[in-house]
Amino acid sequence: METAQAVPPVEDDSVPQSPKAKLRFSWQMVFSVLMYGFMYFPILVLAFYSFNASRFSSNWGGFSLRWYSSLINDRRILSALGDSLTVALAAVAISAVLGTLMAVGLAKFRFPGKGLYRGASYLPLIIPDIAIAVATLVFLVYVGIPLSIWTITAAHVVFCLAYIAVVVSTRLSGLNPFLEEAALDLGATPTQAFLKVLLPELMPAVLSGCLLAFVLSMDDLLISSFTAGGGANTLPMEIFSRVRTGVKPDINALSVILILASGLLAFASEYIRFKSTQRKLQG
């Protein structure tokens, strides 16, 4: 006598989902739409009014590119942009070298007070900007250093250094710790092992950290305002001085350009990180 085998139940895809699943999915969609709308709708409004021909944002005077073209002839904007680029590029260049060396030193060497030094190095990430600005200003006044564009640069190095060091440290934690030892066993000097083995592996993280620090430096207003001397005027400071009397369409146009530039830098940073991850998986 043959024993009847149990037939597993066949799943029916046509059975509708429970109302709870549909409700949960709907609420997720509503929440996502609200959050994205809250973040990006003001940017869309700003971009829309940047093409307004009227000088008053409350009145639509037709489509025009006059405010974008006027920025090219605005000497104050161009001068402020030049100061911001000078500060950001100088601060990022200094921070890239010091931040990379700091991250490598904290990862490779042991010394008394290492934990305390590591915590102090990353404090600019959590300390409010107003505290950094006031502390830097008090220090500069106490030492007797006159305020100028270079004091802004020095103040920006403080927080740019921490951001680059964090990104490089994250990359270091995922590397094979025996790469340098293998290079040393093959006859390379410590300098050669660092420059030809470790640094190429860290370069994507260094570039990503530099792009992040560059955007933060270009966007800084508070620290720059406290440490700027006579004649130094960064782009955020110029924008703030103009919007105090009302937002004009030229500021809208400038803001759109800055948003697009920041988006391109963020995309470049993510692309570098993605290619680095792909190369690591393939290797």
Contact 156, 84 (CB under 8 A): no
Q: Where are the domains of the chain?
A: 75-282
Tokens representing 163 are: 């951001």
Tokens representing 140 are: 């500069």
In residues, how long is the chain?
283
Beta bridge mates, 63: 52
Query: What is the fold, at CATH topology level, of the domain defined by 75-282?
Result: MetI-like fold (1.10.3720)
> What is the DSSP code (8-state) at residue 16?
P
Q: Count other Cβ atoms within 10 Å, centred on residue 208.
A: 23
Residue with tokens 């895809």: 13
CB-based contacts of 133, cutoff 8 Å, min separation 6: 155, 222, 223, 225, 226, 227
Helix or strand holding residue 266 (H, E): helix 249-282
CB-based contacts of 146, cutoff 8 Å, min separation 6: 229
Can you list the alpha helix ranges (DSSP code H) found in 109-148? 114-121, 129-143
Beta bridge mates, 52: 63
Dihedral sign, Cα of residue 238, residue 240, residue 242, residue 247: positive
Q: What is the pLDDT of residue 119?
A: 82
Predicted TM-score of the model (pTM): 0.78
- End-to-end alpha carbon distance in the chain: 60
Q: What is the pLDDT of residue 1?
A: 47
Whole-angstrom distance, CA of residue 276 vs CA of residue 201: 9
Digits of tens for pLDDT over the chain (283 positions)?
455 555 555 555 555 555 555 555 577 888 888 898 888 888 888 888 888 887 776 677 778 888 888 888 888 888 999 999 999 999 999 999 999 999 988 888 887 887 888 888 888 888 888 999 999 999 999 999 999 999 999 999 999 999 999 999 888 887 777 887 788 888 888 888 888 888 888 888 899 899 889 989 998 999 999 999 777 889 999 888 888 877 778 888 888 888 888 888 878 877 877 777 777 677 6
> What is the DSSP code (8-state) at residue 87?
H
Residue 42, classed as helix, strand or coil, is helix
